[in-house]
Protein backbone atom coordinates (compact mmCIF):
# COMPACT_ATOMS: atom_id res chain seq x y z
CA UNK A 1 0.00 0.00 0.00
CA UNK A 2 1.01 3.60 -0.68
CA UNK A 3 0.16 6.10 2.04
CA UNK A 4 0.18 9.78 1.09
CA UNK A 5 0.14 12.17 4.06
CA UNK A 6 -0.46 15.87 3.43
CA UNK A 7 -2.39 18.56 1.62
CA UNK A 8 -5.61 18.94 -0.35
CA UNK A 9 -6.31 22.34 -1.95
CA UNK A 10 -8.94 23.80 -4.19
CA UNK A 11 -7.06 25.54 -7.01
CA UNK A 12 -8.87 28.81 -7.80
CA UNK A 13 -7.37 29.85 -11.11
CA UNK A 14 -7.99 33.08 -12.97
CA UNK A 15 -6.56 33.63 -16.45
CA UNK A 16 -5.49 37.08 -17.63
CA UNK A 17 -3.42 38.74 -20.34
CA UNK A 18 -0.91 40.18 -17.89
CA UNK A 19 -0.40 39.69 -14.14
CA UNK A 20 -1.33 42.82 -12.10
CA UNK A 21 1.32 44.93 -10.38
CA UNK A 22 0.82 45.62 -6.64
CA UNK A 23 -2.16 48.00 -6.29
CA UNK A 24 -3.32 47.38 -9.86
CA UNK A 25 -6.56 45.74 -11.05
CA UNK A 26 -6.68 43.95 -14.39
CA UNK A 27 -9.48 42.16 -16.25
CA UNK A 28 -9.38 38.38 -16.26
CA UNK A 29 -10.67 36.23 -19.10
CA UNK A 30 -11.71 33.03 -17.36
CA UNK A 31 -11.96 31.37 -13.97
CA UNK A 32 -11.85 27.74 -12.84
CA UNK A 33 -12.04 25.82 -9.57
CA UNK A 34 -10.13 22.54 -9.71
CA UNK A 35 -9.02 19.88 -7.24
CA UNK A 36 -5.35 20.25 -6.29
CA UNK A 37 -2.90 20.25 -3.43
CA UNK A 38 0.37 18.35 -3.80
CA UNK A 39 -0.64 15.36 -1.72
CA UNK A 40 -4.08 14.99 -3.26
CA UNK A 41 -2.39 15.20 -6.68
CA UNK A 42 0.20 12.56 -5.75
CA UNK A 43 -2.55 10.26 -4.45
CA UNK A 44 -4.66 10.66 -7.60
CA UNK A 45 -1.64 10.09 -9.86
CA UNK A 46 -0.77 6.90 -7.99
CA UNK A 47 -4.38 5.72 -7.89
CA UNK A 48 -4.86 6.21 -11.65
CA UNK A 49 -1.73 4.14 -12.23
CA UNK A 50 -3.23 1.23 -10.31
CA UNK A 51 -1.65 1.79 -6.89
CA UNK A 52 -3.50 0.84 -3.69
CA UNK A 53 -3.46 4.28 -2.09
CA UNK A 54 -4.66 5.85 1.17
CA UNK A 55 -4.63 9.62 1.67
CA UNK A 56 -4.26 11.11 5.17
CA UNK A 57 -5.32 14.76 5.31
CA UNK A 58 -7.94 17.29 6.35
CA UNK A 59 -10.60 19.33 4.54
CA UNK A 60 -13.32 21.74 5.67
CA UNK A 61 -17.01 20.86 5.59
CA UNK A 62 -17.55 23.05 2.53
CA UNK A 63 -18.09 22.69 -1.24
CA UNK A 64 -14.34 22.72 -1.97
CA UNK A 65 -13.82 19.89 0.51
CA UNK A 66 -16.59 17.83 -1.04
CA UNK A 67 -15.19 18.44 -4.54
CA UNK A 68 -11.74 17.27 -3.42
CA UNK A 69 -13.03 14.13 -1.73
CA UNK A 70 -14.97 13.17 -4.82
CA UNK A 71 -12.02 13.77 -7.16
CA UNK A 72 -9.58 11.80 -5.01
CA UNK A 73 -12.01 8.96 -4.30
CA UNK A 74 -12.82 8.88 -8.03
CA UNK A 75 -9.24 7.80 -8.68
CA UNK A 76 -9.77 4.78 -6.43
CA UNK A 77 -7.95 6.34 -3.47
CA UNK A 78 -9.12 5.47 0.06
CA UNK A 79 -10.17 8.79 1.67
CA UNK A 80 -11.33 7.31 4.99
CA UNK A 81 -8.48 9.11 6.76
CA UNK A 82 -9.18 12.55 5.29
CA UNK A 83 -10.58 14.22 8.41
CA UNK A 84 -13.16 16.95 8.47
CA UNK A 85 -11.95 20.20 10.02
CA UNK A 86 -13.75 23.30 11.30
CA UNK A 87 -11.22 25.32 9.25
CA UNK A 88 -12.08 25.91 5.58
CA UNK A 89 -10.57 23.65 2.94
CA UNK A 90 -7.12 24.82 1.82
CA UNK A 91 -7.05 26.97 -1.29
CA UNK A 92 -4.46 28.05 -3.81
CA UNK A 93 -5.30 31.33 -5.52
CA UNK A 94 -3.54 31.17 -8.87
CA UNK A 95 -3.26 33.78 -11.60
CA UNK A 96 -1.93 32.76 -15.00
CA UNK A 97 -0.98 35.19 -17.75
CA UNK A 98 -1.04 34.70 -21.51
CA UNK A 99 2.54 33.41 -21.50
CA UNK A 100 1.70 30.77 -18.88
CA UNK A 101 3.60 32.64 -16.15
CA UNK A 102 1.85 32.41 -12.78
CA UNK A 103 1.54 33.78 -9.27
CA UNK A 104 0.26 31.51 -6.51
CA UNK A 105 -0.84 32.21 -2.95
CA UNK A 106 -1.73 29.25 -0.75
CA UNK A 107 -3.96 29.46 2.32
CA UNK A 108 -3.43 26.29 4.35
CA UNK A 109 -6.85 26.27 6.07
CA UNK A 110 -7.67 22.71 7.13
CA UNK A 111 -4.23 21.50 5.92
CA UNK A 112 -2.71 23.58 8.72
CA UNK A 113 -4.59 21.51 11.29
CA UNK A 114 -3.09 18.19 10.13
CA UNK A 115 -1.00 17.13 13.11
CA UNK A 116 1.18 14.33 14.46
CA UNK A 117 -2.00 13.11 16.22
CA UNK A 118 -3.54 12.50 12.77
CA UNK A 119 -0.45 10.51 11.82
CA UNK A 120 -0.84 8.46 15.01
CA UNK A 121 -4.50 7.91 14.10
CA UNK A 122 -3.38 6.48 10.76
CA UNK A 123 -1.08 3.91 12.39
CA UNK A 124 -3.02 0.96 10.97
CA UNK A 125 -2.50 1.95 7.33
CA UNK A 126 1.02 3.28 7.90
CA UNK A 127 2.04 -0.05 9.45
CA UNK A 128 1.23 -1.82 6.19
CA UNK A 129 2.76 0.78 3.88
CA UNK A 130 5.36 -0.09 1.24
CA UNK A 131 5.76 3.60 0.36
CA UNK A 132 4.94 6.77 2.31
CA UNK A 133 4.79 9.90 0.13
CA UNK A 134 5.15 13.40 1.61
CA UNK A 135 5.44 17.07 0.65
CA UNK A 136 5.89 20.34 2.55
CA UNK A 137 2.38 21.80 2.25
CA UNK A 138 1.60 20.65 5.81
CA UNK A 139 3.43 21.49 9.05
CA UNK A 140 6.97 20.18 9.54
CA UNK A 141 6.16 18.25 12.78
CA UNK A 142 3.44 16.39 10.85
CA UNK A 143 5.85 15.58 8.00
CA UNK A 144 8.43 14.41 10.54
CA UNK A 145 5.90 12.18 12.35
CA UNK A 146 4.77 10.62 9.06
CA UNK A 147 8.37 10.04 7.94
CA UNK A 148 9.15 8.39 11.28
CA UNK A 149 6.06 6.17 11.08
CA UNK A 150 6.92 5.15 7.52
CA UNK A 151 10.52 4.46 8.43
CA UNK A 152 9.49 2.38 11.46
CA UNK A 153 7.11 0.36 9.27
CA UNK A 154 9.95 -0.42 6.84
CA UNK A 155 8.31 1.63 4.08
CA UNK A 156 10.27 3.69 1.55
CA UNK A 157 9.79 7.33 2.53
CA UNK A 158 9.48 9.77 -0.42
CA UNK A 159 9.66 13.52 0.18
CA UNK A 160 8.87 16.10 -2.49
CA UNK A 161 10.78 19.13 -1.18
CA UNK A 162 8.04 21.55 -2.20
CA UNK A 163 7.20 24.28 -1.48
CA UNK A 164 10.87 24.56 -0.55
CA UNK A 165 11.72 24.78 3.14
CA UNK A 166 14.81 23.96 5.15
CA UNK A 167 14.39 20.44 6.53
CA UNK A 168 15.81 19.36 9.87
CA UNK A 169 18.66 16.84 9.80
CA UNK A 170 16.42 14.38 11.62
CA UNK A 171 13.96 14.42 8.70
CA UNK A 172 16.75 14.03 6.13
CA UNK A 173 17.80 10.90 8.00
CA UNK A 174 14.32 9.37 7.60
CA UNK A 175 13.87 10.13 3.90
CA UNK A 176 14.74 7.37 1.43
CA UNK A 177 14.11 9.29 -1.79
CA UNK A 178 14.08 13.07 -2.16
CA UNK A 179 12.24 14.51 -5.19
CA UNK A 180 13.23 18.03 -6.27
CA UNK A 181 13.05 20.23 -9.31
CA UNK A 182 16.18 22.16 -10.30
CA UNK A 183 15.14 25.20 -8.29
CA UNK A 184 14.53 23.21 -5.08
CA UNK A 185 17.76 21.25 -5.57
CA UNK A 186 19.75 24.49 -5.74
CA UNK A 187 18.04 25.86 -2.62
CA UNK A 188 18.74 22.64 -0.74
CA UNK A 189 22.42 22.79 -1.63
CA UNK A 190 22.73 26.29 -0.21
CA UNK A 191 23.42 29.92 -1.07
CA UNK A 192 24.69 30.48 -4.58
CA UNK A 193 24.36 26.83 -5.56
CA UNK A 194 23.02 25.85 -8.95
CA UNK A 195 22.54 22.47 -10.55
CA UNK A 196 23.99 21.36 -13.88
CA UNK A 197 21.79 21.01 -16.97
CA UNK A 198 20.53 17.75 -18.43
CA UNK A 199 23.40 17.88 -20.96
CA UNK A 200 26.12 18.29 -18.30
CA UNK A 201 28.81 15.68 -17.83
CA UNK A 202 28.02 12.87 -15.37
CA UNK A 203 30.96 14.00 -13.21
CA UNK A 204 29.22 17.29 -12.53
CA UNK A 205 26.09 15.49 -11.41
CA UNK A 206 28.21 13.10 -9.36
CA UNK A 207 29.47 16.10 -7.39
CA UNK A 208 25.86 17.09 -6.73
CA UNK A 209 25.08 13.52 -5.60
CA UNK A 210 28.01 13.74 -3.20
CA UNK A 211 26.64 16.95 -1.68
CA UNK A 212 23.20 15.45 -1.11
CA UNK A 213 24.83 12.40 0.49
CA UNK A 214 26.81 14.65 2.84
CA UNK A 215 23.47 16.09 3.94
CA UNK A 216 22.09 12.61 4.69
CA UNK A 217 20.14 12.09 1.43
CA UNK A 218 21.34 9.03 -0.51
CA UNK A 219 18.73 8.85 -3.29
CA UNK A 220 17.54 11.91 -5.21
CA UNK A 221 15.38 12.40 -8.27
CA UNK A 222 15.98 15.80 -9.85
CA UNK A 223 13.26 16.72 -12.37
CA UNK A 224 14.24 19.08 -15.16
CA UNK A 225 10.87 19.83 -16.79
CA UNK A 226 10.99 19.28 -20.55
CA UNK A 227 14.64 18.17 -20.23
CA UNK A 228 13.80 14.97 -18.34
CA UNK A 229 15.28 14.00 -15.00
CA UNK A 230 18.42 12.76 -13.28
CA UNK A 231 18.69 9.91 -10.78
CA UNK A 232 21.37 10.38 -8.11
CA UNK A 233 21.79 7.13 -6.20
CA UNK A 234 24.56 6.81 -3.62
CA UNK A 235 23.48 3.19 -2.96
CA UNK A 236 23.62 2.07 -6.60
CA UNK A 237 26.27 -0.33 -7.92
CA UNK A 238 29.38 1.31 -9.39
CA UNK A 239 28.70 3.15 -12.62
CA UNK A 240 24.99 3.60 -11.81
CA UNK A 241 25.27 6.46 -9.26
CA UNK A 242 24.16 9.00 -11.88
CA UNK A 243 21.52 8.01 -14.43
CA UNK A 244 20.00 10.44 -16.93
CA UNK A 245 16.37 9.83 -17.85
CA UNK A 246 15.64 11.27 -21.28
CA UNK A 247 12.54 13.43 -21.60
CA UNK A 248 9.44 12.02 -23.22
CA UNK A 249 8.71 14.34 -26.14
CA UNK A 250 5.15 15.65 -26.00
CA UNK A 251 3.18 18.75 -26.95
CA UNK A 252 2.74 20.17 -23.47
CA UNK A 253 -0.35 22.32 -22.95
CA UNK A 254 -0.43 22.56 -19.13
CA UNK A 255 2.49 21.55 -16.92
CA UNK A 256 0.66 22.28 -13.64
CA UNK A 257 1.10 19.31 -11.31
CA UNK A 258 3.64 17.53 -13.53
CA UNK A 259 5.95 17.14 -10.53
CA UNK A 260 3.14 15.58 -8.49
CA UNK A 261 2.33 13.16 -11.32
CA UNK A 262 6.01 12.22 -11.36
CA UNK A 263 6.05 11.63 -7.58
CA UNK A 264 2.84 9.55 -7.65
CA UNK A 265 4.18 7.41 -10.47
CA UNK A 266 7.50 6.85 -8.68
CA UNK A 267 5.53 5.78 -5.59
CA UNK A 268 3.57 3.20 -7.60
CA UNK A 269 6.65 1.69 -9.23
CA UNK A 270 8.70 1.59 -6.03
CA UNK A 271 5.78 -0.09 -4.23
CA UNK A 272 5.77 -2.66 -7.05
CA UNK A 273 9.47 -3.34 -6.41
CA UNK A 274 11.15 -1.39 -9.23
CA UNK A 275 14.71 -0.11 -8.85
CA UNK A 276 14.86 3.69 -8.51
CA UNK A 277 16.06 4.40 -12.07
CA UNK A 278 13.34 2.16 -13.56
CA UNK A 279 10.71 3.94 -11.46
CA UNK A 280 12.01 7.29 -12.69
CA UNK A 281 11.87 6.18 -16.33
CA UNK A 282 8.23 5.14 -15.94
CA UNK A 283 7.38 8.34 -14.04
CA UNK A 284 8.98 10.44 -16.75
CA UNK A 285 6.47 9.09 -19.27
CA UNK A 286 3.51 9.43 -16.88
CA UNK A 287 4.42 13.05 -16.00
CA UNK A 288 4.94 13.98 -19.66
CA UNK A 289 1.52 12.58 -20.59
CA UNK A 290 0.00 14.60 -17.73
CA UNK A 291 1.17 17.81 -19.44
CA UNK A 292 -0.64 17.02 -22.69
CA UNK A 293 -4.10 17.77 -21.26
CA UNK A 294 -5.45 20.83 -19.44
CA UNK A 295 -6.02 20.55 -15.72
CA UNK A 296 -4.11 18.75 -13.02
CA UNK A 297 -5.77 15.68 -11.48
CA UNK A 298 -8.15 15.32 -14.44
CA UNK A 299 -5.14 15.15 -16.79
CA UNK A 300 -3.30 12.31 -15.04
CA UNK A 301 -2.81 9.18 -17.16
CA UNK A 302 -3.75 5.58 -16.50
CA UNK A 303 -1.34 2.65 -16.74
CA UNK A 304 -2.60 1.73 -20.21
CA UNK A 305 -1.78 5.25 -21.46
CA UNK A 306 1.79 4.96 -20.17
CA UNK A 307 2.24 1.47 -21.61
CA UNK A 308 0.93 2.56 -24.99
CA UNK A 309 3.49 5.37 -25.05
CA UNK A 310 6.29 3.06 -23.91
CA UNK A 311 5.56 0.69 -26.83
CA UNK A 312 5.88 3.52 -29.36
Which residues line the annotated binding site? 9-11, 37-41, 137, 181, 223-228, 254, 256, 259-260, 290, 293, 295
Nearer to ligand ADP, 252 or 275 (CB): 252
Q: Can residue 288 be called a binding residue for ligand ADP (CB under 6 A)?
A: yes
Decide: 97 and 29 in contact? Cβ < 8 Å. no
- Inter-axis angle of helices 303-311 and 276-290, nearest 10: 100
User: Strand, coil or helix: what is 214?
Assistant: helix
Q: Would you count residue 248 as binding ligand ADP (CB under 6 A)? A: yes
Kindly state the number of chain residues that form the binding site for ligand ADP, as judged by CB under 6 A: 19
Which residues ranging from 31 to 60 are in contact with ligand ADP (CB under 6 A)?
none
Pick 12 or 287: Cβ nearer ligand ADP: 287
- Choose the stretch contacting ligand ADP; rule: CB under 6 A; options: 22-30, 85-93, 137-145, 217-225: 217-225
Q: Helices 38-48 and 63-74, interaxial angle, to 10°?
A: 30
Does residue number 181 form part of the binding site for ligand ADP (CB under 6 A)?
Answer: yes
Cross-sheet strand order for the sheet of 229-233 = 78-85, 53-60, 2-5, 131-135, 156-160, 177-181, 219-223, 229-233, 242-245
Among 259, 264, 295, 301, binds ligand ADP (CB under 6 A): 259
For the question of residue 260 being annotated catalytic, the response is: yes
State which of residues 74, 112, 116, 247 lies at the interface with ligand ADP (CB under 6 A): 247
Contact status, residue 9 vs residue 33, Cβ threshold 8 Å: no
In angstroms, rounded to a whole number, what is the distance separating the alpha carbons of residues 164 and 197?
A: 20
Position 74 contacts ligand ADP (CB under 6 A): no
Helix axis angle, 258-271 relative to 276-290, nearest 10°?
A: 140
Q: Which stretch binds ligand ADP (CB under 6 A): 61-69, 133-141, 212-220, 254-262?
A: 254-262
Is position 216 an interface residue for ligand ADP (rule: CB under 6 A)?
A: no
Query: Which range of residues in 26-34, 151-159, 266-274, 280-288 is near ligand ADP by CB under 6 A?
Result: 280-288
How buried is residue 203: exposed, middle or buried, by Cβ count under 10 Å (0-12/13-18/19+)?
exposed
Alpha carbon distance 47, 211 (integer Å) = 34
Shortest Cβ contact with ligand ADP: which residue? 259
Contacts with 15 (C-beta within 8 Å, 6 or more apart), sequence order: 28, 29, 30, 31, 95, 96, 97
Question: Which range, of 77-85, 105-113, 190-198, 283-291, touches ligand ADP by CB under 6 A?
Answer: 283-291
Show which residues are catalytic.
Answer: 260
Binding-site ranges for ligand ADP (CB under 6 A): 181, 223-226, 228-229, 247-248, 250, 252, 255, 258-259, 262, 284, 287-288, 291
Amino acid sequence: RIVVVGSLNADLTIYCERLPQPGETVHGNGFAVNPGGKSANQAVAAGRLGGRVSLVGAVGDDPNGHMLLSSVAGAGVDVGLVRSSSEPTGVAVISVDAAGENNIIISAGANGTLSPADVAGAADVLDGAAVVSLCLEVAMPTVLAAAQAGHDAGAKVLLNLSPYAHIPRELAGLVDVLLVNAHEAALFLGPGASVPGADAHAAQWDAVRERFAERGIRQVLVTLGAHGSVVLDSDAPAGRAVVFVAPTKVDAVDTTGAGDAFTGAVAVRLAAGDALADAAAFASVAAALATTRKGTQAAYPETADVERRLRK
